[in-house]
Amino acid sequence: MLRIAVPNKGSLSGPAADMLHEAGYQQRRESKELRIVDPENEVEFFYLRPRDIAIYVSSGRLDIGITGRDLLIDSGANAEEILPLGFARSTFRYATKPGTAKGVEDLNGLTVATSYEGIVAKHLADSGIDASVVHLDGAVETAIELGVAEVIADVVETGTSLRNAGLEVIGEPIMKSEAIVVRRTGADTEESAESKVQQFLRRLQGVLVARTYVMMDYDIRAEHLEQAVAITPGLEGPTVSPLHNEGWVAVRAMVPSKGAQRVMDDLYEIGARAILTTAIHACRL
């Protein structure tokens, strides 16, 4: 049975459960459940604090886990990213009251409050900056107002929390994060478990593709086919079938959903008609 760690709370929890559900896995019915078995798929899910997941996985007790890239790096655990999942995207940045500092080079002698001590201590050391780091559990934006630090380093998505606290980002982002699948570094799983891991990853990749592509069908005169194929190259090449109406062909290709309307406009311009897009519910590439 494959043992998988899933975030139990926070920004990662809901989207991770949705993705697993879309991939055909059973998920817990209520948020107090700590583990569930999905016997049909031979998988056991453990609902753990996102911050702890890389540590459990690195211990070898759990095969894989879903966590944030920033949390993995912060933990310093012996685990590696094996698949980015495209949700819970954020940046990790320094911020201060306007006028305190312009960049990381101005942080010497200051105190930085953060929940991500591992990332910050390493970044300061790598930048040759001698600053103190104070660890807080969350809501670090308030630390400056309350005099605990002059600088914070935190997750920034929309920037709303920073604006509300009257803070502004300084310097370049320390890192970009998103939800990821992690696995113990150098895990030498036995063959049957390895094939289960690969099947799990293929299912999640299928969800990612289904979320980012649509299926496009259209009819076009054969003499414009090459132009049309250049617009909709598909993944391995589009399917082209003859139409009963002589001189016309039907084309079917996967197209990134972002920009699908523009693709339809371009196809129409070169003479394509009956252009349809349909959602993809699941796929294996």
Ligand X SMILES: Nc1ncnc2c1ncn2[C@@H]1O[C@H](COP(=O)(O)OP(=O)(O)OP(=O)(O)O)[C@@H](O)[C@H]1O
Order of strands, edge to edge, in the sheet holding 273-279? 239-242, 248-256, 213-221, 273-279
**Residue 138 binding ligand PRP, by CB under 6 A:** yes
**Residue 158 binding ligand PRP, by CB under 6 A:** yes
Q: What tokens were used for 119?
A: 């990332």
CB-based contact 180:79 (threshold 8 Å): no
Residue 25: Cβ-neighbour burial (10 angstroms; 0-12, 13-18, 19+): buried
| Shortest spacing between CB 69 and ligand X, in angstroms | 7
Q: Nearest Cα to 85, choosing from 29, 18, 156?
A: 18
**Residue 151 binding ligand PRP, by CB under 6 A:** no
**Residue 155 binding ligand PRP, by CB under 6 A:** yes
**Which of positions 200-259 make contact with ligand X (CB under 6 A)?**
none
**Residue 146 binding ligand PRP, by CB under 6 A:** no
Give CA–CA dist 57/61, Å, rounded.
Answer: 6
**Which of positions 162-191 make contact with Mg ion (CB under 5 A)?**
none
Give CA–CA dist 273/114, Å, rounded.
Answer: 56
φ, ψ of residue 269 to 5 degrees: the values are -55, -35
**Residue 71 binding ligand X, by CB under 6 A:** yes
Q: Collapsing DSSP states into helix, strand and coil, what is residue 45? A: strand
Identity of the residue, 104 or 140, whose beta carbon is nearer to ligand PRP in the bound complex: 140
Please identify which residue in 160, 191, 223, 236 interacts with ligand PRP, judged by CB under 6 A: 160
Site string for Mg ion, 117-156 (x = CB under 5 A): ---------------------x------------------
**Which of positions 86-105 make contact with ligand X (CB under 6 A)?**
88, 90
Q: Which residues bind ligand X (CB under 6 A)?
A: 9-12, 50-51, 68, 70-71, 88, 90, 138, 155, 157, 177
